[in-house]
Amino acid sequence: MSTKPPKIIPQRPVKPEENDSDGTVVLERRTLKTRPPKLYQVLMLNDDYTPMEFVVIVIQEYFGKDLETATQIMLKIHLDGRGVCGVYSRDVAATKVNQVLDAAHKAGHPLQCVSEPVES
């Protein structure tokens, strides 16, 4: 009767700090770091036809700004050609853009609104 020699399975070398006194190996758990979602700014663009009062109302209604802040944003849009109304996650920003475009279309104004990634 012939017997085969036992197979020797190579083992990973164990560092001294991983070796417990009873011969068990302790593995360290690493937590995964997730990145926060990319943010998008919602911009309104200036045109020569949409009344300033309508822009202020839209900013108040869809972006939750008070009258003074909405007026400042409207003046920035008027003077600089565009102004930031808010910064949101991608889905929320897209929803805000659609709400503003729908309101402008229903009121018969050519107001334009876009979203773009925030530069970081």
**Which domains occur in the chain, in start order?**
48-117 (3.30.1390.10)
| The Cα angle at residue 96 between residues 94 and 97, in degrees rounded to 5 | 65
> Where does the pLDDT of residue 59 fall: very low under 50, low under 70, confident under 90, or very high at 90 and above?
very high
pTM greater than 0.75: no
Is pLDDT at 112 greater than 80 in this prediction?
Answer: yes
- What pLDDT is attached to residue 93? 98
Contacts of 93 (CB under 8 A, 6+ apart): 40, 41, 42, 86, 87, 115
β-pair type (82-89, 112-117): unpaired
